[in-house]
A and B are shown apart, each in its own frame.
Chain A
Amino acid sequence: MNNGRRHTKKAFPWRRSLWIASLLAPALVVMVLLVLWPLLSAFRLAFYEFNGLQPTGFIGFENFRKVLFEQPYSGWTYNALKHNIIAFVALMVFENGTAFLLAYALLKALPGHRIHQVIVFLPVVLSAVIVGFLWKLFLHPLFGLVNQTLALVGIGAIPWLGNEHTALGSVLFANVWHWLGFPTLVLLAGMQRVSKEVIEAARLDGAGDYVLMTKIIWPLIAPSVTIVTILTFIGSFNWFEIPYVMAGLTGSPGGATDVLGLYFYRTAFGSTTTGIQDFGQGSALAVMMFIIVAGVTAIALRYLRRREIEL
């Protein structure tokens, strides 16, 4: 059989290549049409000026210069970028930190752990629009569940989403509530793959929960941490739905919840009540977002993978 196969391969090498190509072709066509072509189009449009809704002339890096160095656009860009960075850091600490602790608690299989696992994961299956709307209601200054509860202990109406100091935190909280189950499950799956012998050996050596978590489990779940970190980064820089539902297209109040996704959408497609459409500047923002996400992800992956290999 093996000889026969080798004979066929030697006699008709082009047939095998053709076969492989025919298998790859449909996926490649879809990729080129739906991913590569729009991406390259966005790159192209970023270098054009728009008069109305049509590109009128090649203007080099002018759109990039405007969004990076010319007020008020640059102010809006850096404000949005700052919020994306805050979102990433906050989600890493609060969402993934809590997820790690929850995953460890679930790993210990305490009584009722199965129902808790379902409860933690349940919000993940809801759409971001529903979650945003729900939390907008909960945080309503007059009728919201949160303020009505606080009123029982004498705390007055807090405009969670209307105050520039609490708005971003409130939107982030809703996001954590929505997604907490996902990193929990990924980290739990990682923890469940850690050999029981290793854990038992550590226990025999006298390791308590803290040492076990920090010195044994944490290093051994590096591949899961890599996935969670990269997905959190991509999610933070493409963040759109929940801020859009809870704070609107302008990232209200006064840009306190503005993120690059909202700013890009507003710039490219305008809005009935604020502005006109500018696909040139919008594309420049989209290209920058792509470069940030792709660039940082590539670098972070290299670093995080190296950490996995070193183990």
Chain B
Amino acid sequence: MSRRRIGLALAAASFAWGLAASAAHATDISFWTWRQEDKAAYNELFADFTKENPDIHVKFESFPDENYPTIVSTALAAGKGGDVIHTHAYGWLEQFVKAGYFEPQDLTTVPSLANQPADALVAGTYRADKKVYSLPFASQTLGLFINKDVFAQAGLTPPTTWDEFITVSKALKEKGFYPLANGMGTSWFNEMFVAIFTNPFLGQDFVGDLTSGKTTFKDPRYVAALGKLLELRDYMPPGFEGIDYETAGQLFITGKAAMLAGGSFDIATYRTQNPAINMDFIAPPTAKAGDTPQVTKFFDGGYAVNAKSANKEAALKLVNWMGTKEFGDKFSALLGNISPIKGVVIKDELLAHVAKLNETAMPHINVVYFRFEKPTGSELLQGDITKMMSGSITPDQLAADLTDGLAKWYKPFQGK
């Protein structure tokens, strides 16, 4: 063997040794989520992270949405689970924090927390110790999807007030379209439906009165807003009681329905399902002309670090990176979600419009304030709204059930 060959062999061996040594020192961490559909985007994001942190590799692991709380809680109870856990916000998060499953985050361990607006941080904060346990990842906006092609075909303009909504819906129905795609077949979607159409009638004052204990859901403003929902039944598809979330989406993207009360989280999905769709996302109808248009906003969740993680340092490093503008820009571009990180640039026109609507948004009342104890506002409302829409209970009864149920743990409602 010539000297040159020996030299080459030695160089190759040293290179291989170096690679092996670097692999041996690399830290593998896992990221647990319920967002199976976001796998490609997250893998791209994690590849960027690994470029900046070559010693940390992130594995994306997803679980079914419906069973996610069960899987996460049983894994964490056994001292296992992902190193970084994708969490929902508010009450969902709090039960895990109470059990001591998540690591608190502060500006020392996660400096990028400074990039988060105050209302986003509330979603990831434990009320008892005021510490952040989950770095917020996205805000979701609830409003009205508009199929612009259907409106053009019908020669109509999307409505801005309730009266216009009714007039336009009548015209759409006469032209053979379903004015509103929504049904009552999916409980969680029904709760969003209620928030979307009642919030413009309630206003910020009502939220202030409700959270300060001045009023309850028995308030005539809430009962009247619920009553408006009954008017929508004439403009929903036949057999709307059995129309589920998936069907509503299909009716909308195929142009059978003109409008759909839904969430900004579906913008990307609808575009994937029908790339030719020509849609808009607007605020739901206001009570009267001149009122401020009000969409509904909430923070979906965040990124938490498993308190029992063997790679806590690497996990915190990843979470910190997920709070940077660099992550936020790409996250919004890839997933069509609005990152709450300050200064994030949203290039997509529709998404930027949604972000603008957020400036005057109302909170998703049940999610933000009434999911902390049992029975939650969500389970009470979801149980009753189908009954109200089918006419077996009145708006007054729903309001009373909601108030009395919440009074079990929400002190301002007790005795009212």
Contacts of A53 in B (CB 8 A): 73, 76-77, 95-96, 98-99, 101
Closest to A274 in B: B379
Q: Is A97 an interface residue (CB 8 A)?
A: no
Q: Is B83 in contact with chain A by the CB < 8 A criterion?
A: no
Query: Could you tell me if B97 and A160 are in contact, using CB atoms closer than 8 angstroms?
Result: no
Contacts of A164 in B (CB 8 A): 386-387, 390, 392
A5 to B247: give the CA distance in the assembly, Å: 74
A276 B374 Cβ-Cβ under 8 A: yes
Given contacts A53-B98, A162-B185, 6 further A-B contacts (CB under 8 A): A72-B404, A141-B241, A159-B243, A162-B239, A164-B392, A281-B374
With A and B bound together, what is the CA distance between A162 and B190 in angstroms?
12
Q: What is the interface of chain A, defined by CB distance below 8 A to chain B?
A: 51-54, 71-73, 139-143, 147, 156-164, 248-250, 252-255, 266, 269-278, 281
Across the interface, which residues of B come within 8 angstroms of A140, CB to CB?
242, 247
Interface size of B as a range: 35 or more
Q: Are A272 and B65 in contact (CB under 8 A)?
A: yes
> Smallest CB–CB gap between B104 and chain A, Å?
15
Q: A249-B66, A269-B69 are in contact. Are A142 and B237 (CB under 8 A)?
A: yes
Contacts of B66 in A (CB 8 A): 249, 271-272
CB of B185 within 8 A of CB of A254, answer no
* CB–CB B241/A275 < 8 A: no
Q: Is A275 a contact of B371 with CB atoms below 8 Å?
A: yes
Tell me the complex Cα distance, A147–B238, Å.
11
Contact A276 B376 (CB under 8 A): yes
Q: What is the chain B residue whose CB lies nearest that of A143?
A: B247
Q: B386 contacts A254, CB within 8 Å?
A: yes
Pairwise interchain contact B98-A51, C-beta atoms closer than 8 A: yes
B381 to chain A, nearest CB (A): 9
Judging by beta carbons under 8 Å apart, are A147 and B383 in contact?
A: no
- Say yes or no: A159 contacts B69, CB within 8 Å: no
Contact between B237 and A278, CB atoms less than 8 A apart: no
Are A52 and B96 neighbours in the complex by a CB distance under 8 Å? yes
Give the distance to chain B from A167, nearest Cβ to Cβ, in Å. 8
Q: How far is the CB of B101 from chain A (nearest CB, A)?
A: 7
Complex contacts, B385 vs chain A, CB 8 Å:
254
A160-B191 Cα distance, complex, nearest whole Å? 21
Residues 119-147 (chain B) with a chain A CB within 8 angstroms: none
Considering only CB atoms, which chain A residue lies closest to B183 in the complex? A162
A-contact bits for B47-72, CB 8 A (1 contact / 0 none): 00000000000000000011111100
List 9 A-B residue pairs with CB atoms under 8 Å apart, sorted by A's residue number: A53-B96, A54-B99, A71-B405, A141-B183, A141-B243, A159-B183, A249-B66, A269-B70, A271-B66
**Residue of A139, A163, A250, A271 with most chain B CB atoms under a 10 A cut-off:** A271
Closest to A250 in B: B187
Closest to A273 in B: B188
CB closest chain-B residue, reference A244? B66
Check A163 against B375 for contact (C-beta < 8 Å).
Answer: no
User: Do A252 and B185 have beta carbons less than 8 Å apart?
Assistant: yes
At the interface with chain A, which of B86-94, B215-223, B265-273, B348-356? B86-94
B239 touches A255 (CB 8 A): no
Whether the Cβ atoms of B98 and A275 lie closer than 8 Å is no
Which B residues, 232 to 255, have Cβ-Cβ distances below 8 Å to chain A?
A: 237-243, 247, 251
| Contact, CB under 8 Å: A273 / B378 | yes
Closest residue of chain A to B190 (Cβ to Cβ) is: A252
Is B401 in contact with A72, judged by CB distance below 8 angstroms?
yes
Interface string of B373-416 (1 = CB under 8 A from A): 11110111011111100101000000001001100000000000
B186 at the interface (CB under 8 A from A): yes
User: A71 vs B380: C-alpha distance in the bound complex, in angstroms?
Assistant: 12
**Contact of A277 with B73 in the complex, beta carbons under 8 Å:** yes
A254 to B243, CA, bound (A): 14
Give the 9 A-B residue pairs with the shortest CB-CB distance, closest first: A52-B98, A141-B239, A162-B242, A162-B241, A159-B242, A273-B188, A157-B239, A253-B386, A159-B239
Say how far A267's CB is from chain B's closest CB, in angstroms.
Answer: 8
Cα separation A269 to B371 with both chains bound (whole Å):
15
Q: Does B184 contact A (CB under 8 A)?
A: yes
Contact A142 B243 (CB under 8 A): yes
Q: B184 to A253, Cβ gap below 8 A? A: yes
B374 & A248 in contact (Cβ 8 Å cutoff): no
> Whole-angstrom distance between the alpha carbons of A271 and B67 in the complex?
7
A54 to B385: give the CA distance in the assembly, Å. 32
A274 touches B188 (CB 8 A): yes
- Residues from chain A with Cβ under 8 Å of B382 in the complex: 250, 252, 273-274
B34 at the A interface (CB under 8 A): yes
B243: A residues at CB distance < 8 A: 141-142, 159, 162
Is A275's CB under 8 angstroms from B378's CB? yes
**A255 CA to B379 CA, complexed, in Å:** 11
Give bound CA distance, A54 to B76, whole Å.
Answer: 11
Contact A158 B383 (CB under 8 A): no
Contacts of B191 in A (CB 8 A): 273
Contact B91 A276 (CB under 8 A): yes
Whether B241 lies near A163 (C-beta < 8 A) is: yes
Q: Is the CB of A253 within 8 A of B387?
A: yes
Residues in chain B near residue A270, CB distance under 8 A? 69-70, 92, 95
Cβ–Cβ contact A274 & B386, under 8 A:
no
Residue B18 at the chain A interface, CB threshold 8 Å: no
Does B100 have its Cβ within 8 Å of any Cβ on chain A? yes
Given contacts A53-B73, A54-B99, contact A275 B374 (CB under 8 A): yes
Shortest Cβ gap from A263 to chain B (Å): 11
